[in-house]
Amino acid sequence: MTSASDLMQAKVIKKRMLTPSVCEFTLAVGDENLSSFDPGSHITVETPSGAMRRYSLVNDGQNNPDNYVIAIKREADSRGGSISMHDQTEEGSTLKFSAPENTFPLKEAPEYLLIAGGIGITPIYSMAQHLANQGKPFRIIYCSRSAEESPYLTELGDMFSDQLTASHTEGVSENRFDFWDYFAEVKNIHVYCCGPKPLVEEIKAISGHWPEGRVNFENFKPVEVTRADDVAFEVTLQKSNQTITVPADRSILEAIREAGIKTTSSCESGTCGSCKSRLVEGDVDHRDMVLMEDEKADHIMICVSRPNTGDLTIDL
């Protein structure tokens, strides 16, 4: 878990567009080397909007690298993080970031199948580089809408042409890649999949007969911060003596931040516990993956949770 006090500062030493919607950022801390990391790791970045966002590390993290590389897709429905990184971060900008953490680690296996969808290629690219350096056998299946919208496709083709299968739908659902031949028979390999929800759900569905632990996933959005049927509500901050309207497409944390009130946060996806607040009054729809059952009556994770009905009062 990363807290605000754990954040370090880095300078953006390089910014380049990989595709029309994906931008790569290279971060460095002066002349200092950075902590080593294993493939699948991510850092938490405080974006210019103030939002905390997790981004997979793309580069080789062994032997104290001199920079960290992340690639960020500009999301049309972004709540501020990705858009602010694209629009407000330039070469020379300073960003706060966490030490690397890994919730998607590579396990020892005789062989690997790496599956990526769209921007999900970021941890997969790091894994491929690591496995190649280790001399381990692997294959990559990279699915996207088009070659133009596929970050690192050229680099992957140059380095791993014999191990890479690229599949592009061109917007036609019938062109979706057929994974069944890879999963029909259980094999002594480990699978790593990162991508949007439809891809993850498909791989889960066709690998249900595989032994537990053989097929591993990293989801883009472990928790749905907002949902289509969410409505606006008011949250009263007891200590601050303020009442703030939370729009249907914003979290309590985001609404509080936009009102100029600072509070602690880290993952902003309901998984770390940094923004846990005491609940004074209200019927909460708990969407986090942190609170114990006996905490839910009087606590709330303000980065993801909201009322089932009515308004809320919290001790902030």
User: By mean pLDDT, which of 44-48, 107-111, 179-183, 270-274 is the weakest?
Assistant: 270-274
What rounded mean pLDDT belongs to the chain?
93
pLDDT of 76 > 80? The answer is: no
Q: Which of 242, 272, 287, 314 is nearest to 3 (CA)?
A: 272
pLDDT digits (tens, 9 = 90+) for 164-174: 999 999 999 89
Cβ neighbour number for residue 88 with a 10 Å cutoff = 11
Tell me the CA distances in angstroms from 216 to 43, 107, 182, 190, one per residue in order: 20, 10, 15, 8
In this predicted structure, what is the pLDDT of residue 220? 56
pLDDT digits (tens, 9 = 90+) for 22-36: 999 999 998 888 999
Q: Which of 299, 292, 255, 295 is nearest to 275 (CA)?
A: 299
> Residue 212 falls within a domain, yes or no?
yes
| pLDDT, average across residues 203-209 | 97
Regarding predicted confidence, which is higher, 3 or 92? 92
User: By mean pLDDT, which of 88-102, 185-199, 236-250, 255-269 is the weakest?
Assistant: 255-269
Domain check: are 129 and 173 in the same one?
Answer: yes
Measured CA to CA, the distance from residue 83 to residue 95 in angstroms comes to 15
> Residue 102 falls within a domain, yes or no?
no
Domain check: are 210 and 246 in the same one?
Answer: no
Q: What is the CATH number of the domain that holds 32?
A: 2.40.30.10
> Residue 34 falls within a domain, yes or no?
yes
| pLDDT, average across residues 224-251 | 93
Q: How many domains does the chain have?
A: 3
Name the residue range of residue 214's domain. Answer: 112-219
In this predicted structure, what is the pLDDT of residue 289? 87
